[in-house]
Amino acid sequence: MAKQFLNPAGLANPGGYTNVVCADGGKLVFVAGQVAFDTNLQIVGQGDLRAQTRKTFENLKIALEAAGARFEDVVKLNVYVVNYKPADRQAIVEVRNLFVSREQPPASTLIGVQALAADGLLIEVEAIAVVG
C-alpha cells in the first residue's frame, strides 16, 4: 500500500498539514469524533483547550490502535473547536504535533463551531486512516 502526500504548486502550504493525500490499497479506518472524555464520560481539562486537545488525541490513538492503525496511517483529520479564535490554533498545533507525522502530516480541516455534543467540550477530532 502506497501513500502520496502532495502539496501542489498553485496552492498555499502554511505547513502542519498536507493539501492532498492519496492512498492505494489497504484497509480504510473511519474514527468517529473523539473528545476529552475519560472512561466515565467525565471531561478531562474542563475549560482548558490544550488539556482537552491532549486527551482528545490520546483517545484518538486508542481508537486507531483498536483498528490496527497508528497516527502514521492517518490521511485525514477534521478538527472542530468551540468558539474558535485564530489564537487557539497554537495550542492545538503544539499538541497535534506530538501525535501526527511532521514530515508527512495528514490532510486536515479546522472548523469553528458553536457547540459540541456536551456542555464543556471544547474540541472534537475525527480521523480517516489507511492501513496497508
Parallel, antiparallel, or unpaired for β 2-6 and 20-24? antiparallel
Cell matching residue 42: 467525565
* Cα–Cα dist 80/130, whole Å: 22
Residue type, 83: N
Give pLDDT tens digits for 55-73.
999 999 999 999 999 999 9
List for the chain the helix, strand, coil content (%; round to 5). Answer: 25, 35, 40
pLDDT for res 132 = 85
Residue 56 has what pLDDT?
Answer: 98
CATH code (residue 116): 3.30.1330.40
Domain count, the chain: 1
Q: List, as own/partner pairs, every contact residues 21-26 make where C-beta atoms lie below 8 angstroms and the sequence separation is at least 24, other chains included.
A: 21/75, 21/76, 21/106, 21/107, 23/75, 23/130, 23/132, 25/1, 25/132, 26/1, 26/130, 26/131, 26/132
Low-confidence ranges of the chain (pLDDT < 50): none
Q: What is the pLDDT of residue 87?
A: 96
- Rounded Cα distance between 79 and 34, Å, is 10
Q: pLDDT at position 25, please?
A: 86
User: Nearest CA to 19 among 31, 5, 29, 32?
Assistant: 5
- Residue 120's region, left for phi above 0, alpha for psi from -120 to 50, else beta, is left
Domain that holds residue 99: 2-131
Amino acid at 50: R
Please give the pLDDT value at position 89.
95
